[in-house]
Structure 1
């Protein structure tokens, strides 16, 4: 059994297979998953698991070079935006229109669907290198 924080085997496998520049999306329950992109569906019920908890665990496992967040997040979901800022304080965060974030999701290795029922609780994590 794994000793690290992340126990979900599908998510662990995707992160282990990622290379520099690959993208992983963590999304709320309503974020559409583009055709052809793997969906790792963690959603059990409303807000379980939450976006912030999922992001925290993924960040413990994944080397992130930068992140992409919808501009709308700050206004529509300030608590989510603040949590992203706190968790990624040392990481560059690019702000784009929500439609651009959804379009970029089509190039992701996978979309992780959480149970979050909060608008714009979505992020794209771009893999860095650990050396």
Structure 2
């Protein structure tokens, strides 16, 4: 049995196969997922798993160097937005690496999900609770 925190086989495999700059989307229950992109559907019921719990699990094993969010996120869902920024800041301090944060319009965000290696769907029902992580390197 895997010893580290992330025990979901699909998530663990995804993270193990990421290369530098590969993108992974973590989304709420409502974001449309491109048909040609790997879908890892974790949603069970509304709110389970939560967006933030899923982010914590992914960041326990994934090195990130960039983050993309919709411009609308901060205004429409400020509590979740601030919680995500706090986790990103903690990750940057823990790894001593800069993490670029970029904001784009929601429609552009949805288009960019087509570049993701996978989209991880949560049970989150908070508007715009979506993020694209760009994979970094550990060296």
TM-score tier after normalising by the smaller chain length: over 0.9
Q: Could you tell me the TM-score, scaled by structure 1's length?
A: 0.98
Deviations 1:37-69 (A, max 9, x none): 000000000000000010011011100001000
Alignment-derived partner of residue 50 in structure 2:
50
User: Where in structure 1 do 4 or more consecutive aligned residues deviate above 3 Å?
Assistant: none
Q: RMSD of the TM alignment (CA)?
A: 0.7
Question: Is 2:123 aligned against 1:115?
Answer: yes
Structure 2 unaligned regions, length at least 5: 93-98
Structure 1 unaligned regions, length at least 5: none
Deviation at 1:93, TM superposition (A): 1.0
User: d(CA) in 1 for partners of 2:122 and 2:104?
Assistant: 21
Q: Could you tell me the TM-score, scaled by structure 2's length?
A: 0.92
Counterparts of 1:97-112 in structure 2 under 5 Å?
A: 97-112=105-120
Residue of 102, 109, 132 corresponding to 1:124: 132
Q: 2:112 is paired with a residue of what secondary structure?
A: helix
Alignment-derived partner of residue 82 in structure 1:
82
Deviation at 1:77, TM superposition (A): 0.4
